[in-house]
Amino acid sequence: MAKKVTAAQTKNDRLLQYLQRTGMRKGLMGTSRSWLYVFVGTLALRRVRRMVGSEPEIVFRGELQPGQAFTIDHLPETYDGRRVRVRRR
């Protein structure tokens, strides 16, 4: 059964998923040591990304009717209520 790819997944996510799946098939189940390393690396990378929270998250999904408006606001990033200073390059 094929896994459904959501619109929130980026090209990088799909690439990592493909590499992990191929690495498991050719490296873990097969005999290629290179693909085994690819599998272990992508598995670790995807797990770290999930722990850190860089996976895409759907915050709102809905349908707008004619005449309705949708506003996107950005709140400043804070650490324990203190604003984060902007680093200038």
- Looking at residue 22, what is its pLDDT? 94
- Looking at residue 84, what is its pLDDT? 64
Q: How far apart are CA 76 and CA 82, in angstroms?
A: 10
71 inside domain: no
89 inside domain: no
72 inside domain: no
Contacts of 16 (CB under 8 A, 6+ apart): 42, 45, 46
Q: Around Cβ 27, how many Cβ atoms within 10 Å?
A: 18
74 inside domain: no
Show pLDDT as tens, one digit a residue, over the chain (89 residues).
445 555 446 778 888 889 999 999 999 898 899 999 999 999 998 888 777 765 566 777 889 899 998 887 776 666 666 666 666 65
Give the range of the structural domain holding residue 6, as residue numbers without chain letter. 1-60
Q: Which residues pair with 78 in a beta bridge?
A: 83
Work out how many domains the chain is built from and give that number.
1
31 inside domain: yes
Distance (Å) of CA 22 to CA 5, 29, 39 = 17, 10, 8
> What's the whole-model pTM score?
0.50
